[in-house]
Structure 1
């Protein structure tokens, strides 16, 4: 028997990158998987959605339950990152980052809670090491991911007595298609790869499947005594002090 046989999972942003790896891992372990993001998903049961729309979460959760009859696992993975410092960011841009990265997970959790109570299900939020530290020019991304880590703790505390667990993962540099395209667009991709590898104690960057493995563990019954925590998946990057 697989860990998620008979269970239903919703993965936002599941069409590409880390979300795709999570959706595939949960499916391969027996789950019925729905994804929600802009545009159609040819691989999974897809619910095309603009997560900046505050009406989208209720529609997404409602469709999952209508089609599958239950919800066991919610993975809030969808997000956006805009390059901008505080001084250069407009209020409209700030609000859109907040809407996608923090308000959408809040609303999805709110809509999912009645169904997760019924199944004693759980939530995994995909945060970031930038919710723990900061790279230059990522003001909104850092703020919203830190907020998502805080929301994770609050949900775990408030809803643990109802049998609902909530954890977060905080990926570091992961070799998604977008990151690989970014590297290939640099003047010397080979040199960039060497340099980015050096900042990680393990000597390399991560794979989406490595994040998915932790998400699957946290969503599974064997992690039943784990809740309210954020786990870095970063090759030791946040543990390493810079040289003087």
Structure 2
């Protein structure tokens, strides 16, 4: 008598966004059941309309510990397992740091760093039982100081450090750890940065497409690496530059000038209007 095979289960945060949607589509094509988490309930409904199979949705603020508990409860009651956690949710604020409110300073760190730490902690027993995997979409900004986005850089530096530290614990607990560090990606968040004065370094090259990031995330399911830079050449250049931070500060004006030209081209290509001068 044949037995029905239980599908592997993946949790995806920021699931309703451009990258999250691509990840969910690819996971479903590979037979995964999905628990999709996002701040936007309407976004999750739209995501469901793009997928061939139903998914479990949890709408809520991931920086609230109760949201992590709701995700854990959904896994317990509907699936009984968790094989993969993909920390994909993130945000950036382009207000000048010196004029930001304390609440906005905290918000950026809460979403980009605290939220994935809380969720990873909440789901770790299930991941350990399944000898599962945590994959975090971080950023090349986790290695490169960004004058226009110090809170974003700090939170992503922290997330990268958290993931690399967890990777050292894999021999003890069996949970595999991977990070994916993309350069700028053609998403609404990058459009926001282009319009409102985000880092011109995002536009030194042609921004990636969400599909490229999703493909690299999915690749980790079968050929996991602790750290993945998109592109690898950019990752190595950044690592070399950070060996000489004083020199980096001196050449930064040239890089900003080059990136600003790319930003203006990006605005024109996508029919966007600059809302305020970049600084």
Q: Where do 1:85-164 residues align within 5 Å?
A: 85-164=96-175
Q: Which has the higher contact order (CA 8 A, sep 6+)?
A: 1
Q: 1:177 to 1:101 in 2, by over 3 A?
A: closer
How far apart are 1:176 and its partner, in Å? 1.8
Q: Is the 8 A contact 2:86 2:134 kept in 1?
A: yes
Mapped to 1, the partners of 2:96 and 2:114 lie a distance apart of 21
Mapped to 1, the partners of 2:110 and 2:228 lie a distance apart of 23
Q: Which residue of structure 2 aligns with residue 57 of structure 1?
A: 68
Q: 1:48 to 1:88 in 2, by over 3 A?
A: same
Q: Which residue of structure 2 aligns with residue 215 of structure 1?
A: 217
From the CA coordinates, give the structure whose radius of gyration is larger: 2
Aligned length: 222
- Is residue 11 of structure 1 aligned with residue 12 of structure 2? yes
Q: Is the 8 A contact 1:58 1:107 kept in 2?
A: no
Q: Which runs of 5+ in 2 are unaligned?
A: 1-5, 49-54, 242-250, 256-279
How far apart are 1:74 and its partner, in Å? 0.1
How far apart are 1:91 and its partner, in Å? 2.5
Q: 1:138 to 1:31 in 2, by over 3 A?
A: same
Q: Where do 1:176-191 residues align within 5 Å?
A: 176-180=187-191
Q: Is the 8 A contact 1:117 1:162 kept in 2?
A: yes
Q: Which residue of structure 2 aligns with residue 189 of structure 1?
A: none
Q: 1:96 to 1:58 in 2, by over 3 A?
A: same
Q: Where do 1:1-80 residues align within 5 Å?
A: 6-40=7-41, 41-42=44-45, 43=48, 44-80=55-91
How far apart are 1:217 and its partner, in Å? 1.4
How far apart are 1:178 and its partner, in Å? 4.3
After TM superposition, the runs of 4+ consecutive aligned structure 1 residues lying more than 4 A away are: 180-183, 240-244
Q: Which residue of structure 1 aligns with residue 247 of structure 2?
A: none
Q: Is the 8 A contact 1:34 1:47 kept in 2?
A: yes
RMSD of aligned C-alpha atoms? 2.5
Between 1:90-99 and 1:166-175, the stretch displaced more is 90-99
Q: 1:16 to 1:164 in 2, by over 3 A?
A: same
Q: 1:181 to 1:140 in 2, by over 3 A?
A: closer
- Is residue 231 of structure 1 aligned with residue 238 of structure 2? no
Q: Tell me the secondary structure at the aligned position of residue 161 of structure 1.
A: helix
Q: Is the 8 A contact 2:91 2:189 kept in 1?
A: no
Q: Where do 1:159-178 residues align within 5 Å?
A: 159-178=170-189
Between 1:117-126 and 1:50-59, the stretch displaced more is 50-59
Q: Is the 8 A contact 2:92 2:189 kept in 1?
A: no
TM-score normalised over the length of structure 1:
0.81
Q: Which runs of 5+ in 1 are unaligned?
A: 187-191
Mapped to 1, the partners of 2:228 and 2:150 lie a distance apart of 21
Q: 1:106 to 1:14 in 2, by over 3 A?
A: same
Q: Is the 8 A contact 1:85 1:136 kept in 2?
A: no
